Amino acid sequence: MPRLFAGALVALAALPLTGAPPAVSPDYTITVDSSARGAAISDSMYGVFFEDINWAADGGLYAELVRNRSFEFSPTDNSSYNGLTGWTVAGTASAVDDDARLNERNRTYLNMNGAVTSSPFATKAGDFYDFSVWARADNAAHLTVTLGNARRTLNVRSGKWVKYSGTLHATTTTDEAALKVESDGPVKLDMVSLFPRKTFKNHGLRTDLATKIAALNPGFVRFPGGCLVNTGSMYGYDAASGYPRARSYQWKDTVGPVETRATNANFWGYNQTYGLGYYEYFQFAEDIGAASLPVVPALVTGCGQNRATDDPALLQRHIQDTLDLIEFANGPVTSTWGKLRARMGHPKPFGLSMIAVGNEENLPDAYFANYLKFRDAIKAAYPRITVIGNSGPDDQGATFDRLWQLNRDAKSDMVDEHYYNSPSWFLQNNARYNGYDRAGPKVFLGEYASQDAKFANSLAEAAYMTGLERNADVVKMASYAPLLANIDHVQWRPDLIWFDADESWGTTSYQTQKLFMNNVGDRVVPSSVTGAVVQPKPIAGRVGLSTWATAARYDDVKVTGTDGTVLFSDDFTDGDANGWTSLTNRGAWAVQDGAYVQSDTAATNTMVAAATDITATDYDITLKATKTAGAEGFLIPFGIKGSDNWYWWNLGGWNNTQGAVEKASGSADAKEQILTRPDSVVTGQTYNLTIQVRGTKVTLIRDGEVWGGFDDNKVTEPFAQVITQDGHDLIVKVVNAQDKPALTKVDLDGIKVAATGRMTVLAGDPGEQNTRSAEPIQPVTSTVRGLGSTFTREFPANSISFLRLRRTA
């Protein structure tokens, strides 16, 4: 794919930088403390998190080209699916589930007399493709397999299932190729497969995607989830359990011969074949030189499901499965599961050293009781394995605090934190880990991202990553998430690497992660920075009303100054909603019986706002709210500056299980949670709600009782830095996330370095993105001169700069 560069960016990054200090005072000063010894940085500081979301596995990293190859697709996976999804039929064909099946776990096969043609995929002229199929026929039949101009004929013997295979040679380069299988009589088919001969290290993974991941040089690979681990049934895919289709990811479903592996309804709305399973995951991690980090179910669901499975025997089975997983990874070939690993092609142990129990559980006490049982069993059998707990789905709140306290009390090895927040959050929380207990559990930041795919998001992430490195004694591992996304099948944004049928490209955050991951260093060099920050502003703006999959009535909306002055009021007794405007064009709003009513229970974010702009810094908002139907509770926006810039008080959110205050600053889809707590509302009950605003401080009152509060008073730090030592080199890492250059003095406190160094810069418009057609944000490396123990540099506006210095003493 052609790479397009922004000429202005190249010109900016290539400007010669002189070492002579300017006459003007610097904007920022970075000062090293050479007398202090910084924290060692783990070899696994940065890694990747792979989950089958956005078609990341099937249709992505897993190189299988045939969709629904085993005819297992079902409406359970997606309401639009059936056993022939992904195929077109000529003649007669049907997906059948009966006793003639291939095996008990591969339950559906194709009964055909005619031809079936697969959905399109990409081929390259001159490449070879390996075809295989399992087939049986009551009477001998012939199969003709066609790929473009390539054709093979197979003689199907009668009576039993037999695997047939062959090679097809593509003669055209196209992303509209298809595999056609035609019979001259009745035949049963299963596992119709086509793989490119060329895969990453010949291990069945799509080469361009695996190569891009390998180029990150990750220290670890976390796998398989994510919500895949802690959603659905925790029972097995067997007759006793009724073959549940929507299950948590259970590793034994994913190993052994591929035709015996179970199918599953992927949480993200499609089918999951498990062709890419635990063996392939361990193999891939080994192939790219990364440690493996499996995540196993804790029998407490999350991701909006929030229930605990109370079955002691099942819990014990999952604990034993986890012990068996470690044996599969590390056991000798004489052990039960080590023998299976060897039979699959890897006699040598994989060297698993860590494992995580659970993912984002929102029932802290139920989760932690199970976690302790897993941990105790793992430590008893494998004392050197690091066992990782978690802190729930948010960066703060009641669940977060409770789980951290439980992990501290239990002296957990490590705690997995997850959060997706706005760029402003990352720029305001650079010092998040400065205050963490150095003697407590270490932090694994298992999932994080700024909620969009623009370079502004990458700048904010990079600034935050300098704080991760400065706190490398606490933060031992971190992985951006998600990793992969098929641009035609997206369930979550942002993502690190995007792809289609035959191309792939790295986002601006991919380039950022790659720069950090390939320039980590061995140890932190203690340093500090002085310079301008952006002070917080009082919360002011319009007041609003909204709902999410809920019908509700609102009445007596009033905004009052602290001196009693009424700044806005509407009790809707005039029968109209004049002065209220929709910010989202969603929902069915109307004044009914003296109240403002939203009656559409399917609509999400139906925000309307009053016309009056509240410019006061101290005021109270009062109103009455009644839920009349639907899944959730109330959304009360305030401080509205526009459709993508506001706060809202969310009561009874997340299917009426949790409350929060959320903040949008630049994107309505990129909300950060300022506070969270368990919460629900009762249908038909009228609530008296008050929001007290005092500058940046807010108190929330429901029916006369304080519900919660917060102070959004953090400064924004658009300039961030960290210095690390990498062998004999120092790496000065500077992020300037503002629209003006930053003239910066660097004082190395007497450390002697060569006069010439190497600088790599990512810079550009903060609104820019890397896309399929153009990737303007690319690293530019140049030689810089005039360096020394003290020097001054101008770091470009909206840039990430890594300056590598060679120590001379």
Catalytic residues: 360
Three-state secondary-structure class, residue 476: strand
CA angle (579, 583, 585) in 5-degree steps: 105
Distances (CA, A) of 53 to 99, 227, 363: 33, 9, 24
Please identify which residue in the block is written with the tokens 């500077």: 734
How deeply is 124 buried, as exposed, middle or buried, from its count of CB atoms within 10 A (0-12, 13-18, 19+)? Answer: middle
In the chain, the amino acid numbered 779 is P
Q: Which two tokens stand for residue 561?
A: 């100054």
**Cα(418)–Cα(399) distance, rounded to whole angstroms?**
12
Q: Taking a C-beta distance cutoff of 8 angstroms, is the pair 502, 491 a contact? A: no
Q: Token digits for 418?
A: 């997850």
- Cβ neighbours for 346, distance < 8 A, ≥ 6 positions apart: 279, 282, 283
CA distances in angstroms from 21 to 16, 28, 467, 702, listed in the order given: 14, 13, 28, 59
- Sign of the C-alpha dihedral computed for residues 244, 245, 250 and 254 taken in this order: positive
DSSP letter at 643 equals T
Question: What is the Rg, in whole angstroms, of the alpha carbon atoms belonging to the chain?
Answer: 29
The C-alpha atoms of residue 651 and residue 547 are separated, in whole angstroms, by 10
CA distance linking residue 288 with residue 221, whole number of Å: 9
For residues 779 and 761, is the Cβ–Cβ distance under 8 A? yes
Residues 201 and 767: their CA atoms lie apart, in Å, by: 37
Distance between CA atoms of residues 108 and 93, nearest Å = 13
Strands 442-450 and 414-421 come out as parallel
User: What CA–CA distances, in Å, run from 143 to 17, 90, 193, 415, 704?
Assistant: 68, 14, 14, 55, 76
Q: Which two tokens stand for residue 805?
A: 């210095």
Determine the 3-state secondary structure of 522 from DSSP: coil
User: Tokens in use for 596?
Assistant: 């403002």
